Amino acid sequence: MEAACDSFIRYLATERGLSEAYQLSVRQSLDALAAWLKLKEVALKDIGTDELAAFLSQRKKEGLGASSLRITTVHLKIFFRWLAMKGKLEMDPAEPLLAPRADLHLPETLHAKELVQMLDSIDPSLPLGRRDLAILELFYSSGLRLSELCQLRLEMVDFEGGFLRITGKGNKTRVVRVGTKAREALNDYLNNERPSLVSKKTSSHIFLSVRGTQLSPDRVRQIVKERAKMAGIDQNVYPHLLRHSFATHLLEGGADLRVIQELLGHADISTTQIYTHVDRQRLKNIHKTFHPRG
């Protein structure tokens, strides 16, 4: 089992070109399976669908949620499909497995008024005010992931057209729009504050620390939380909350779901459809509040 896992991870890395994070996720699933098989004294060649189903059932009893079980099932299916393709197993025992439906967790969002309150509370004339305002404006204007914002470089910005060329999950590139307010904040930061942060070790990353280095994801999370607290917002505010708010407010404004999918960089429209549930819940609440027989 260990040798097969090692070979499969190498295949994911060299032939499929999948990220280290994905390789680690698969490795964790397969290590859990290997430990279970060792406990049950079952060899790799003797694994059947019943054994895999029993393993998944055990993981569920251990507290693994539906989303994590779904991911584990996918990992098992691609692993055993590869083993069968390589002739290491006569048949694919994972083929009949059905992945459980993921739990539907509606994303948290901020009300548009709260977002305006947070953005308006930042004074650009104060130290790092221009940088922090540009960060928050970009999150809300373009729906960027935290990693995408941290990796932004000067050469990725079309200042004249008002676009960003983003490399997101799976190394897929997409073009996203930068709104007027975000463009103004970004230009102000680049012209009037970033030059003072530049040091000898500075790269072309847009958002810099006081030491002139690229801002880390942890630091950006901290900036977002600090700015929300300073604006008097009690809700837990984090970068992905701004991304959710970006998508939800677009949908509420009448944007097409396919357009939102493209702007967010979702590979599958089903991922974007979560926002339709948010909008339906909003309509339900409005009806309940204002309709005489709601």
Whether this prediction's pTM lies above 0.85 is answered by: no
Catalytic-residue membership of 243: yes
Order of strands across the sheet that contains 173-177 = 157-158, 163-167, 173-177
* Catalytic residue check, 59: no
**pLDDT, mean of residues 83-112:** 81
Q: Is 183 a catalytic residue?
A: no
| pLDDT number for residue 79 | 96
φ, ψ at 173 (rounded to 5°) = -100, 135
Q: Can you tell me the mean pLDDT for 42-68? A: 89
Per-residue pLDDT tens digits for 6-40: 999 999 999 888 888 889 999 999 999 999 999 99
Q: Which residues of 142-173 are buried (b: 16+ CB within 10 A; e: fewer)?
A: bbbbbebbbbbeeebbeeeebbbebebeeeee
Domains defined for the chain, CATH in brackets: 2-85 (1.10.150), 112-289 (1.10.443.10)
The pair of structure tokens assigned to 44 is 């790799």
What share of the chain in percent tops pLDDT 90? 55
Catalytic residue selected from 77, 130, 145, 244:
145
Residue 193 has pLDDT above 70, yes or no: yes
> Is 61 an active-site residue?
no
205 is catalytic: no
**Could you confirm whether 266 is annotated as catalytic?**
yes
Active-site option among 59, 243, 244, 249: 243
Residues in contact with 46: Cβ distance below 8 Å, sequence separation at least 6, in sequence order: none
Tell me what the mean pLDDT of segment 102-114 comes to: 74
